[in-house]
Structure 1
Amino acid sequence: MHTRSLGAHGPAVSEIGFGAWAIGGGWGDQNDETSLKALNQAIDRGVNFIDTAAGYGDGHSERLIAKALKNRSESVFVATKTPPADGPWPPSPYCRWQDRYSAAYLRDNVHQRLNNLGTDRIDLLQLHTWTRAWNDDPQPLLVLRQMREEGKIGLIGVSTPEQDQSCVIQLMRDGLVDVVQVIFNLFEQEPAAQILPVAAETGTGVIVRVSLDEGALAGKYSGEHSFPDDDFRTRYFEGDRMQRTVDRVEKIRADLKAFGLQDQYSPADVALKFVLARPEVSTVIAGMRSVAQVDQNTRTSQLKDLPDDLLIQLRRHQWHRGVWYSGK
């Protein structure tokens, strides 16, 4: 497993990280024993970065991670997230930070994160979403800075709202965040315009999420595939979205075949390697809920980089499809 620096102020982390949403819930049935086996297998395979959140099963994901790490001697960097108080997601331009991320709320929520993770210091605390409306008065981030000075937090980060990922550019340039978490994949390539270059300019760490487009870029679904009612992907791929996505994944397969690489790289490998081709990226958090998924995702780090001419060809798969999370 190759490692990269988590920005100018962070440690060396595995370039493939463990995305821990599914083990908390929200992706259909999940057995805790299976989740713990996946976590342990990931650490065995060299993964030393785990990303979780309060909202992943109301802290269940965090508690499972704490249980797994209790029996491990390895140093594992754990990032978690605090959501805003009740209100629209992502926050609207009319939301006040005082109502969504007040100092009292942040302190109470971070205390819950510490308890769930069984630690007295969070390696990386990220605000789970944001709005550009707060950029000129970013008091929540100043509260986190104070908590860092108190020793409760290591690094500070923001996970981008899907509708306005570039809102973090000002935060990076103002030195308010150590890390940003962004959506970047073969379909969503817009972060290459400014977010990634500014991250390099400012020494900000970059965590990439949704690199496999919620599993679709792994090439394992047909156009008729459906998910259980308790799996959020039922809404994400509602209507004709799955068929439209599969049609585009087939074009990516065709590119791989045209370069004669279809036997060396799986579609998932290509999706992950495309993201890792950017040196600004610190780690790619792939969702892992089973030993098989851990083995598939971690093997990518051992493969050769994709040829430059293929990377250029793959850029054509950028897809301006709007924001599916909002139910369009």
Structure 2
Amino acid sequence: MERISRYVPLGAGGPQVSALGLGCMSLSGAYGAGDDAEGVKLIRSALDRGVTFLDTADMYGWGRNETLVGAALAGRRGEAFVATKFGYVRGEGDALLINGRPDYVFRACDASLTRLKLDHIDLYYQHRVDPDVPIDETVDAMGQLVRKGKVRHIGLSEARPETIRRAQKVFPVSAAQTEFSLLYRVEAQETLETARELGIAFVACSPLGRGLLTSAAPSSAGIAGDRPATHPRFSARNLARNLELVDRLAQLAKAKGCSPSQLALAYVLAKGAIPIPGTRRLARLEKNVEALDVALSEQDAAALEQAIPADAAAGERYPPDLLAKACL
């Protein structure tokens, strides 16, 4: 099994990470029941291939995912660059709330370190911006974690460009993460440009449109019961439209001699982003890694953008309650 040889700096002058990372959310129940033992095997297989950039969060499985990642890293800490996130908390009736208060930032970090069994976190994101707490206060607390040695770098997830700029004045931000794919790229474009300007890494979550941009795109029935089933893009009406767009991608991928998912990832890579596709299957991990070998010219990228216009996707990225928490 060959190891990848493509690495990029995490922002201007930052540490080297694999040009393609592994999103670990799907290993802990977000896309159907997870198997921790299989999840550990998958993460270790990713490390074997040289995929160093692992992405998790304290709300993925409410701690379970961080525990799984920690187990996978036993004896292999030096091979991984670990990113995790804080911010989401459970309220009454399991309502999703956001907490960006400094005292919570410190508690959340300690809890994540315990679950991950690490003495420091390589990249610590605020998962969502707390609208009730000035970003200056949250980021100052994150900076204190860096000074204490508990965190190496900080990042913001689903933050507006103006929020990123404001945060950057308080403490250096190393990475900005948001959803970015051929299907959903309108909202991310300004963030991507802001990241380039400020020398910040842009990390693309859901680079395969939550499974839509693959050779085995899901049906409404196939995702019933899974968390993504609540996303508007998967409603019967929207899904039919989105699968028409996927068919266009498949035709271009066939001409290119690769799979639709590989072409979709190659597009994200060509835009200077670090994609972090998630999967629970080793075969899919292998396919994703092979996307690094797909050469994409400017003409190829333009053809993709013409086939799938920026505003062509049907359905918002999130259901209303989650959409209200994104991009603050």
Which range, TM-score by smaller chain?
0.7 to 0.9
Shift of 1:76: 0.6
Q: Which residue of 1 aligns with 2:227?
A: 232
Query: What is the rounded CA distance, in whole Å, between the counterparts of 2:250 and 2:137 in structure 1?
Result: 46
Structure 1 residues 142-173: Cα deviation after superposition (integer angstroms, max 9, x where no partner): 11111211111111111106xxx445442465
Q: Which residue of 1 aligns with 2:74?
A: 70
1:206 counterpart letter in structure 2: F
Whether contact under 8 Å (1:219, 1:246) holds in the other structure is no
Structure 2 CA distance for partners of 1:167 and 1:249, relative to 1, 3 Å: farther
Structure 2 CA distance for partners of 1:127 and 1:133, relative to 1, 3 Å: same
Q: Which residue of 2 aligns with 1:110?
A: 109
Out of 204, 208, 217, the position equivalent to 1:208 is 204
Q: Which runs of 4+ in 1 moved over 6 A?
A: none
Query: Partner of 2:21: helix, strand, or coil?
Result: strand
Q: Which ranges of structure 2 fall in alignment gaps of 5 or more residues? A: 324-328
Query: Partner of 2:149: helix, strand, or coil?
Result: coil
Query: What is the rounded CA distance, in whole Å, between the counterparts of 1:81 and 1:222 in structure 2?
Result: 28
Structure 2 CA distance for partners of 1:34 and 1:84, relative to 1, 3 Å: closer
Query: What is the rounded CA distance, in whole Å, between the counterparts of 1:64 and 1:226 in structure 2?
Result: 26
Any residues of structure 2 matched to 1:284-299 within 5 Å, and which? 284-299=275-290
Any residues of structure 2 matched to 1:48-67 within 5 Å, and which? 48-67=52-71
Q: Which residue of 1 aligns with 2:178?
A: 182
Whether contact under 8 Å (1:172, 1:202) holds in the other structure is no
Whether contact under 8 Å (2:23, 2:277) holds in the other structure is yes
Query: What is the rounded CA distance, in whole Å, between the counterparts of 2:212 and 2:44 in structure 1?
Result: 25
TM-score, normalising length from structure 2?
0.86
Query: What is the rounded CA distance, in whole Å, between the counterparts of 1:139 and 1:322 in structure 2?
Result: 34
Whether contact under 8 Å (2:156, 2:164) holds in the other structure is no
Shift of 1:198: 2.1
Query: Partner of 1:154: helix, strand, or coil?
Result: strand
Q: Which residue of 1 aligns with 2:302?
A: 312
Query: Partner of 1:123: helix, strand, or coil?
Result: strand
Any residues of structure 2 matched to 1:120-139 within 5 Å, and which? 120-130=119-129, 138-139=136-137
Query: What is the rounded CA distance, in whole Å, between the counterparts of 2:164 and 2:88 in structure 1?
Result: 20
Query: What is the rounded CA distance, in whole Å, between the counterparts of 2:89 and 2:44 in structure 1?
Result: 33
Q: Which residue of 1 aligns with 2:152?
A: 154
Query: Partner of 1:293: helix, strand, or coil?
Result: helix
Any residues of structure 2 matched to 1:12-31 within 5 Å, and which? 12-31=16-35
Query: What is the rounded CA distance, in whole Å, between the counterparts of 1:27 and 1:127 in structure 2?
Result: 23
Query: What is the rounded CA distance, in whole Å, between the counterparts of 1:28 and 1:222 in structure 2?
Result: 13
Query: What is the rounded CA distance, in whole Å, between the counterparts of 1:86 and 1:233 in structure 2?
Result: 19
Query: What is the rounded CA distance, in whole Å, between the counterparts of 1:124 and 1:54 in structure 2?
Result: 13
Structure 1 residues 283-317: Cα deviation after superposition (integer angstroms, max 9, x where no partner): 2101021211211111111x232132120121131
Structure 1 residues 35-77: Cα deviation after superposition (integer angstroms, max 9, x where no partner): 1111111111110010000011111111111111113264210
| 2:114 counterpart of 1:119 | no
Compare relative contact order (CA 8 Å, sep 6+) and give the higher one, 1 or 2. Answer: 1
Structure 2 CA distance for partners of 1:297 and 1:247, relative to 1, 3 Å: same
| 2:239 counterpart of 1:242 | yes
For structure 1, which segment, 236-245 or 307-316, has the greater mean C-alpha deviation from structure 2 after superposition? 236-245
Q: How much is the aligned-residue C-alpha RMSD, in angstroms?
A: 2.4
Query: What is the rounded CA distance, in whole Å, between the counterparts of 1:56 and 1:86 in structure 2?
Result: 12
Structure 2 CA distance for partners of 1:224 and 1:103, relative to 1, 3 Å: closer
Q: Which ranges of structure 1 fall in alignment gaps of 5 or more residues? A: 92-99
